[in-house]
Amino acid sequence: MELLYKLLGVATAVAEDAAAADAAAAAEMTGAQSLIYTLVNLLPMVLIFVVMYFIMIRPERKRRKKEQEMLAALKRGDRVCTIGGIYGTIMDIKDDTLTLSVGRDNLSMVVARWSIRSVEDVTIENESESLN
């Protein structure tokens, strides 16, 4: 037990000496050294932000821009798929609403422009018999 106390006492003394040396070194730092020390400490945060930008933010902006361009380029006769999975042909466009012709009976359906997921390659002028 006495050996344990001696070891703990030595460890405590060494730790106190190391803390005192760190405090003395910090007090002796010049302005330039302090600035470098701060920049080195901030570097990991900056790197995390840069990585997050290139992994998450940039691809999402590209995807959103492509989607906006697709919605702006909608025209009468385009074959589209809505986010609900309904396929139809655009019959009329008014501001933010589209009138779709759906199914064999050409039922009319009004949907919001933002609800269009994709524009299909086939248009009504190309193969009208096979669409309905």
DSSP assignment of 93-130, as one string? EETTEEEEEETTTTEEEEEEGGGEEEE-S--TTT-HHH
Q: What is the pLDDT along the chain (132 residues), one digit of tens a residue?
A: 555 455 455 455 555 555 555 555 555 667 777 888 888 889 999 999 999 999 999 999 999 999 999 999 999 999 999 999 999 999 999 999 999 999 889 999 999 999 999 999 875 554 455 554
Rg (CA), the chain: 34
Contact status, residue 113 vs residue 73, Cβ threshold 8 Å: no
Give the separation between CA 115 and CA 92, rounded to whole angstroms: 15
How many other C-beta atoms can be found within 10 angstroms of the C-beta atom of residue 111? 19
pLDDT score recorded for residue 39 = 85
Three-class SS state of 82: strand
pLDDT score recorded for residue 29 = 63
pLDDT score recorded for residue 67 = 95
CATH, range 75-131: 2.30.30
Give the separation between CA 74 and CA 111, rounded to whole angstroms: 13
Give the separation between CA 119 and CA 70, rounded to whole angstroms: 8
pLDDT score recorded for residue 109 = 95
Angle, CA of 6, 8 and 14, to the nearest 5°: 105
